[in-house]
């Protein structure tokens, strides 16, 4: 019964909206939308934000042409949930995609479906990570799951599953340019999603960048040796420390034979992941890899016997940055190809181009890699938007905008009224210089995937420009109050500090108001926890054993008894 009703509603909406379009705005004025997303791209690794690590001249072009957001964030810092929030304009607890584990519920209405119904041509190339195919696209070629860096497989709308030789970032761009140039109807507006796999783990860069990036040295973040004191226990319990949890072969490309020779123990799926990545390469790619990483291994073999724990952390951080940033070099080059094409084909002026990531990422801050936590580097995400017809070149905004807001922004830009149950706010006032019409002063966050890989405890929070009040509610019940202005590195919990009594009370009140506003409550969250824990106890959650899941449940029960 459900599907026909939704279809009817969509038809109805599209009818109403196309009438509106005709009367309010000539069809030809509807902007094109190009939504570019990379996977796990930290804002620290875009030179328009921070030029200490890498130069990204092409991504920076969007900042020069348009607006850079310094306070953009996600509602749940993990891949598929972020994408689901983007497509539905709803928080995780309402769209149902609370973690990477369960499939996306395709009965949700997404903004591509609405745009398609309203006459937009729609296409998606790259990573989606939903466990099923997307609705609302005239064309898609998506990577299965996380996808592969080399010679990747794609699930396509019309050609079944295909394997394409080459490097994923180049291939996804070729597909995108092909569609723009040859496949779309050039008389109609379009909405194109160009969604990279890079720079997701395990960071395999293009062959052409191997030599250059494996010889670079990068500055260390101030908190590389964070000891996690001063905050609640989840920071110290997480398994995402570069020294302790990043694997030697799988991540750093130390040869498994060398690990054996040096007596280095595996971390996680260390050698298996290395073997998987390596097995995907063809003969000439293997040769190139072995040559470049052979040199890295040689230097490592010489240095390792005299390395202290601190040296190992420093070495691992450098290796992490070399490979991670190497993958971004190809993203930036390909971004250049796309922007050049748009310029050459007169498509720049009336196209909204968004560059963002599905979340931020730790590049050694707090000694970490990965994301999930509400500490800035993963809670915040890069966001650059250009639209020369409407946005002032070189502008910046520090407003609290979120991935929740994209759907309504695009719909408003296209002259389409958004469904009333979407929960974001259109960014149009900010983009068009009418900031006085923007009133949001706090955002809501909720992370769920636990116990799972990286062991980041469940938490929800309110974030304002000045503070974060965070509740870790699973296992031990703990609160954290972060002072964003006074302690920007987020090293201290002020929750018990008498000076913060009033601030704390105010934030508690506002957090409850936000939970009511966004309709998150214990009953809804509990449903997701129960389903997830059943699978965890069955050993069905990636990266966590049945025993570990059971241990967490026992701990939780004993805390609740006390």
Q: How far apart are CA 483 and CA 230, in angstroms?
A: 13
| Partner from ligand SGN, Ca ion, none contacting 36, C-beta within 5 to 8 A by type | none
Residue 61 or 83: the one with the smaller Cβ distance to ligand SGN is 83
Residue 86 or 391: the one with the smaller Cβ distance to Ca ion is 86
Give the torsion through C-alpha atoms of 38, 41, 47, 48, to 10 deg: 70
Number of residues that bind Ca ion (CB under 5 A): 4
Cβ partners under 8 Å of residue 187, min gap 6:
none
Longest dimension (CA), the chain: 75
| Partner from Ca ion, ligand SGN, none contacting 99, C-beta within 5 to 8 A by type | none
- Compute the least distance from the CB of residue 116 to ligand SGN, in Å: 26
Residue 321 or 511: the one with the smaller Cβ distance to ligand SGN is 321
Residue 208 or 280: the one with the smaller Cβ distance to ligand SGN is 280
| Partner from ligand SGN, Ca ion, none contacting 90, C-beta within 5 to 8 A by type | none
71 CB burial (10 A radius; 0-12, 13-18, 19+): middle
Size of the chain, expressed as the number of residues it contains: 562
Cβ partners under 8 Å of residue 395, min gap 6:
66, 67, 68, 433
Identify which of 542, 539, 547, 531 has the alpha carbon closest to the alpha carbon of residue 96. 531
- Compute the least distance from the CB of residue 161 to ligand SGN, in Å: 20
- Compute the least distance from the CB of residue 200 to Ca ion, in Å: 6
Q: How far apart are CA 401 and CA 459, in angstroms?
A: 20
- Compute the least distance from the CB of residue 42 to ligand SGN, in Å: 12
| Partner from Ca ion, ligand SGN, none contacting 138, C-beta within 5 to 8 A by type | none
Residue 114 or 456: the one with the smaller Cβ distance to ligand SGN is 456
Identify which of 69, 560, 157 has the alpha carbon closest to the alpha carbon of residue 354. 69
User: Strand, coil or helix: what is 167?
Assistant: strand
Phi-psi region of 366 (alpha: psi -120 to 50; beta: other; left: phi over 0): left
Residue 405 or 453: the one with the smaller Cβ distance to ligand SGN is 453
| Partner from ligand SGN, Ca ion, none contacting 270, C-beta within 5 to 8 A by type | none
Identify which of 6, 281, 297 has the alpha carbon closest to the alpha carbon of residue 151. 281
Asked if 353 and 34 touch (Cβ cutoff 8 Å), the reply is: yes
- Compute the least distance from the CB of residue 99 to Ca ion, in Å: 13
| Partner from ligand SGN, Ca ion, none contacting 129, C-beta within 5 to 8 A by type | ligand SGN
Residue 97 or 314: the one with the smaller Cβ distance to ligand SGN is 97
Q: How far apart are CA 128 and CA 461, in angstroms?
A: 26
Residue 39 or 483: the one with the smaller Cβ distance to ligand SGN is 39
The residues binding ligand SGN (CB under 6 A) are 39-40, 78-79, 100, 129, 146, 200-202, 269, 273, 370, 453-454, 542
Identify which of 503, 471, 505 has the alpha carbon closest to the alpha carbon of residue 232. 471
- Compute the least distance from the CB of residue 268 to ligand SGN, in Å: 7
- Compute the least distance from the CB of residue 359 to Ca ion, in Å: 6
- Compute the least distance from the CB of residue 150 to ligand SGN, in Å: 15
Residues forming a β-bridge with 193: 35, 124
Identify which of 176, 154, 162, 548 has the alpha carbon closest to the alpha carbon of residue 353. 176
Residue 88 or 121: the one with the smaller Cβ distance to Ca ion is 88
Residue 520 engages Ca ion in binding (rule: CB under 5 A) = no
User: Strand, coil or helix: what is 190?
Assistant: strand
Out of 36, 46, 79, 549, name the contact with Ca ion by CB under 5 A.
79
Residue 365 or 425: the one with the smaller Cβ distance to ligand SGN is 365
Asked if 437 and 456 touch (Cβ cutoff 8 Å), the reply is: no
Residue 323 engages Ca ion in binding (rule: CB under 5 A) = no
Site string for Ca ion, 5-34 (x = CB under 5 A): ------------------------------
Residue sitting closest to ligand SGN (CB): 79
- Compute the least distance from the CB of residue 97 to ligand SGN, in Å: 11
Residue 226 or 453: the one with the smaller Cβ distance to ligand SGN is 453
- Sign of the C-alpha dihedral computed for residues 59, 62, 64 and 70 taken in this order: negative
Asked if 191 and 122 touch (Cβ cutoff 8 Å), the reply is: yes
Q: How far apart are CA 132 and CA 421, in angstroms?
A: 24
Residue 358 engages Ca ion in binding (rule: CB under 5 A) = yes
Residue 77 or 409: the one with the smaller Cβ distance to ligand SGN is 77
Residue 328 or 414: the one with the smaller Cβ distance to Ca ion is 328
- Compute the least distance from the CB of residue 244 to ligand SGN, in Å: 14
| Partner from Ca ion, ligand SGN, none contacting 370, C-beta within 5 to 8 A by type | ligand SGN
Asked if 408 and 426 touch (Cβ cutoff 8 Å), the reply is: yes
Q: How far apart are CA 74 and CA 85, in angstroms?
A: 9
- Compute the least distance from the CB of residue 442 to ligand SGN, in Å: 25
Output the six-digit token pair for 306.
């005299």
Out of 32, 34, 40, 333, name the contact with Ca ion by CB under 5 A.
40
Cβ partners under 8 Å of residue 149, min gap 6:
167, 168, 197, 198, 204, 277, 280, 327
Residue 370 engages Ca ion in binding (rule: CB under 5 A) = no
Cis before 42 (ω within 30) = no
Residue 39 engages Ca ion in binding (rule: CB under 5 A) = yes
Output the six-digit token pair for 178.
């092909």
Asked if 190 and 355 touch (Cβ cutoff 8 Å), the reply is: no
Residue sitting closest to Ca ion (CB): 79
**Choices 356-364, 456-464, 473-481, 546-554; region in contact with Ca ion by CB under 5 A:** 356-364
- Compute the least distance from the CB of residue 549 to ligand SGN, in Å: 16
- Compute the least distance from the CB of residue 156 to ligand SGN, in Å: 21
Applying CB under 5 A, the residues found at the interface with Ca ion are 39-40, 79, 358
């Amino acid at each position: 019964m459900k599907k026909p009703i939704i279809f009817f509603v969509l038809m109805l909406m599209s009818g109403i909206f196309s009438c509106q379009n005709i009367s309010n705005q000539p069809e030809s004025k509807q902007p094109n939308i190009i939504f570019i997303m990379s996977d796990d791209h930290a804002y620290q690794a875009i030179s328009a934000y921070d030029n200490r690590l890498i130069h990204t001249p092409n991504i920076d072009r969007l900042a020069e042409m348009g607006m850079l957001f310094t306070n953009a964030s996600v509602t749940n810092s993990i891949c598929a949930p972020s994408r689901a929030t983007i497509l539905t304009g709803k928080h995780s607890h309402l769209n149902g995609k609370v973690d990477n584990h369960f499939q996306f519920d395709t009965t949700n209405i997404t903004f591509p479906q609405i745009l398609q119904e309203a006459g937009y041509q729609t296409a998606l190339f790259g990573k989606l990570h939903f466990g099923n195919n997307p609705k609302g696209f005239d064309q898609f070629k998506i990577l299965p799951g996380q996808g592969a860096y080399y010679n990747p497989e794609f699930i396509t709308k019309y050609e079944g599953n295909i394997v394409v030789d080459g490097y994923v970032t180049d291939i996804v761009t070729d597909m995108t340019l092909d569609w723009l140039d040859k496949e779309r109807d050039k008389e109609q507006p379009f909405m194109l999603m160009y969604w990279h796999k890079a720079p997701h783990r395990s960071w395999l860069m293009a062959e052409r960048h191997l030599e250059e990036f494996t010889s670079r040295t990068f500055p260390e973040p101030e908190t590389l040796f964070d000891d996690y004191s001063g905050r609640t226990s989840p920071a110290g319990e997480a398994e995402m420390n570069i020294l302790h949890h990043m694997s030697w072969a799988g991540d750093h490309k130390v040869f498994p034979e060398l690990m054996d020779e040096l007596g280095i123990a595996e971390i996680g799926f260390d050698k298996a992941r290395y073997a998987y990545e390596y097995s995907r390469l063809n003969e000439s790619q293997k040769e190139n890899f072995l040559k470049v990483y052979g040199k890295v291994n040689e230097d490592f073999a010489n240095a390792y016997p005299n390395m202290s724990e601190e040296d190992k952390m420093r070495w691992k951080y450098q290796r992490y940055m070399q490979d991670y940033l190497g993958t971004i070099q190809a993203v930036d080059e390909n971004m250049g190809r796309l922007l050049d094409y748009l310029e050459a084909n007169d498509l720049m002026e009336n196209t909204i181009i968004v560059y963002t990531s599905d979340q931020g990422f730790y590049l050694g801050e707090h000694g970490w890699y990965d994301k999930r936590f509400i500490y800035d580097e993963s809670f915040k995400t890069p966001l650059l938007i250009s639209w020369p017809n409407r946005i002032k070149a070189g502008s910046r905004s520090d407003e609290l905008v979120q991935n929740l807001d994209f759907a309504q922004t695009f719909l408003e830009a296209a002259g389409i009224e958004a469904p009333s149950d979407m929960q974001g706010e259109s960014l149009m006032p900010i983009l068009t210089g009418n900031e006085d019409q923007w009133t949001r002063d706090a955002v809501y966050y909720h992370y769920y995937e636990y116990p799972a890989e990286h062991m980041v405890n469940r938490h929800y929070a309110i974030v304002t420009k000045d503070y974060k009040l965070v509740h870790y509610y699973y296992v031990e019940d703990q609160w954290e109050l972060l002072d964003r202005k006074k302690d920007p590195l987020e090293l201290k919990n002020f929750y018990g500090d008498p000076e913060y009594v009033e601030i704390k009370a105010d934030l508690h009140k506002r957090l409850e108001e936000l939970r009511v506003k966004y309709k998150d409550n214990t009953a809804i969250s509990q449903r997701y926890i129960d389903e997830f824990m059943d699978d965890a106890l069955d050993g069905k959650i990636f990266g966590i054993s049945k025993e570990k899941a059971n241990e967490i449940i026992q701990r939780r029960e004993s805390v609740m008894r006390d």
